[in-house]
Amino acid sequence: MRDSKYHGRKVLTELVNAGASPEILYVNKPHIGTFKLVGIVQNIRAKIAALGGEIHFQSRVTDLQIENGQVRGVTLANGKQIASNHVVLAVGHSARDTFEMLCDRGVYIEAKPFSIGFRIEHPQSLIDRCRFGDHAGHKLLGAADYKLVHHCQNGRSVYSFCMCPGGLVVAAASEPGRVVTNGMSQYSRNERNANSAIVVGITPDDYPGDPLAGIAFQRRLEAQAFELGGGTYDAPGQLVGDFLNHRPSTAFGTVIPSYTPGVRLGDLSHSLPDYAITAIREALPAFDQQIKGFAMDDAVLTGVETRTSSPIRIKRHEDYQSVNTAGLYPAGEGAGYAGGILSAGIDGIKVAEAVALSILRNCDR
Ligand SMILES: Cc1cc2nc3c(=O)[nH]c(=O)nc-3n(C[C@H](O)[C@H](O)[C@H](O)COP(=O)(O)OP(=O)(O)OC[C@H]3O[C@@H](n4cnc5c(N)ncnc54)[C@H](O)[C@@H]3O)c2cc1C
């Protein structure tokens, strides 16, 4: 099999063929833009169909058929069964129902580390000024980004994740009665605020229990965020100055958050475990040393960010098949093998190659 560099180039080339800007082939941090991505996915879908593939919408997989450790097919929510000795499972990191089904079916899963925290919003102009100095605002430079990390006294690491220049904080809950934040930028990156997740790395030691204990942990934080937000799907928020000085926020300052339906100001100090709050309180002033104004009083924290990556890994052998269920190919972010569009695409190609190889070998016999 070819190396990841080849696969990465292949993913980027396919994205360009489907409509992404060719600059993603050479810029340091390739950026597609959310609205553009929709059209690109439609074009990729059309290509799959033209090559003989089929897309079945409204077809939720609810069960797997497994006989003596060999997958035999899938069952859909409408009761229909699709037989196959090769099933690629690429359900994303929030497919909690599927993870539970896999556990019930005895497919080997283990808990894996992920991160929790908040979104932070600053004026994009502040980030531009710190990064570009006198050249801030020049159209050739566009909106500046950043990448920050701080190792805390309590042994935790806090880092910025999924930084969105000129972007929006968006709702990412997948279940009723829960609030989850995420972020995105359009291709133009021209919204007023810069946002990123400020998250603390956690491990299964923080949520001991069965392989799905990380999901129970996420759910607790997300339900608490829903309550703190007033039970209306507003997200709970706090100004950085108030967060650092242990007092609830009551009014926005110069930074108006972008999250819709809205942000309900209050006190975030109990929205995450104490070790995470302590770590973020230590990290924000440290980040301010690198980006002057990062810990500005008016910057807005919005909670909670709990889906930085999958809380589980569906273990697989080197041939990409599940360690205890032959023919099942766990793939992408939900299975614990990717963390973003590019790595999920690369993993998808590797898994497709592994399936093809397995079919070829079986034909030879
Ligand atoms: C708001 C937001 C912004 C992001 N921004 C970026 C970014 O800027 N850059 C970046 O690299 N990444 C970004 N990501 C992450 C990126 O989208 C994921 O890493 C990537 O999509 C993972 O790909 P995947 O194929 O593994 O899973 P997904 O893209 O999550 O696809 C999983 C699919 O499986 C389907 N599914 C789930 N359960 C079932 C079932 N039981 N039956 C049938 N189908 C099922 C889902 O509906 C979904 O279509 C962002 C994510 C979000 C939510």
Mean pLDDT across the chain, nearest whole number? 96
Domain boundaries, the chain: 113-305
pLDDT score for 365: 57
CA of 93 to the centre of ligand 1 (A): 7
**Distance from Cα 283 to the centre of ligand 1, integer Å:** 29
pLDDT digits (tens, 9 = 90+) for 329-360: 999 999 999 999 999 999 999 999 999 999 99
pLDDT of 238 over the 60 cut? yes
Q: What does the alpha-carbon distance between residue 174 and residue 183 come to, in Å, rounded to a whole number?
A: 15
pLDDT for 3? 67
3-state secondary structure of 360: helix
Answer whether residue 314 shows pLDDT above 70. yes
Task: State which ligand 1 atom lies nearest to the alpha carbon of 101.
Answer: 41
Contact 107, 91 (CB under 8 A): no
- Give the ligand 1 atom nearest the CA of 91: 34
pLDDT over 90 at 80, yes or no: yes
Which residues' Cβ are closer than 6 Å to ligand 1? 60-61, 90-92, 95, 98, 162, 170, 172, 182, 184, 332-334, 338, 340-342, 344
- Copy the structure tokens of residue 68: 């003596």
DSSP 158: E
Query: What pLDDT sits at residue 5?
Result: 79
- Cα of 248 from ligand 1 centre, angstroms: 34
Pocket test for ligand 1, best of 64, 82, 162 (most atoms within 8 A of CB): 162
How far apart, in whole angstroms, are the C-alpha atoms of residue 18 and residue 41?
8
What's the gap in Å between 92 CA and the centre of ligand 1? 5
The CA 346 to ligand 1 mean position distance, Å, reads 14
Q: What is the whole-number distance in angstroms between the Cα of residue 199 and the centre of ligand 1?
A: 20
pLDDT of residue 29: 87
In the chain, % of residues over pLDDT 90:
95
Whole-angstrom distance, CA of residue 151 vs CA of residue 153: 7
On whether the CB atoms of residues 22 and 16 are closer than 8 A, the answer is yes
The Cα 4–Cα 26 span in angstroms is 17
- Per-residue model confidence as pLDDT tens digits over 108-158: 999 999 999 999 999 999 999 999 999 999 999 999 999 999 999 999 999
Nearest residue by C-alpha to atom 13 in ligand 1: 340
Strands 263-265 and 235-239: parallel
Q: What residues contact residue 231 under an 8 Å CB cut-off, 6+ apart?
A: none
Ligand 1: which residue has its CA nearest to atom 46?
Answer: 91
| pLDDT recorded at residue 362 | 83
Per residue in 248-298, pLDDT tens?
A: 999 999 999 999 999 999 999 999 999 999 999 999 999 999 999 999 999
Pick the residue whose CA is nearest to atom 49 on ligand 1: 91
Give, for ligand 1, the residue of 42, 333, 346 to mutate: max count of ligand atoms closer than 8 Å to Cβ: 333
DSSP-derived secondary structure letter, 238: E
Q: What is the pLDDT of residue 1?
A: 57
Give the per-residue pLDDT at 2. Answer: 62
pLDDT at 205: 97
Q: CA-to-CA distance for 15 and 295, rounded, in angstroms?
A: 37
Ligand 1 atom nearest the C-alpha of 60 is: 42
Testing ligand 1's pocket by substitution, the residue of 38, 185, 341 carrying the most ligand atoms inside 8 A of its CB is 341
Among the listed residues 159, 121, 163, the one whose alpha carbon sits nearest the alpha carbon of residue 299: 121
- What's the mean pLDDT in 154-171? 97
- Yes or no: say if 121 and 191 are a contact pair by the CB < 8 Å rule: no
Q: From CA 58, how far away is CA 35, in angstroms rounded?
A: 22
Confidence of residue 161 (pLDDT cuts 50, 70, 90): very high
pLDDT of residue 116: 98
Predicted pLDDT at 363: 77
CA of 311 to the centre of ligand 1 (A): 14
- % the chain with pLDDT above 70: 99
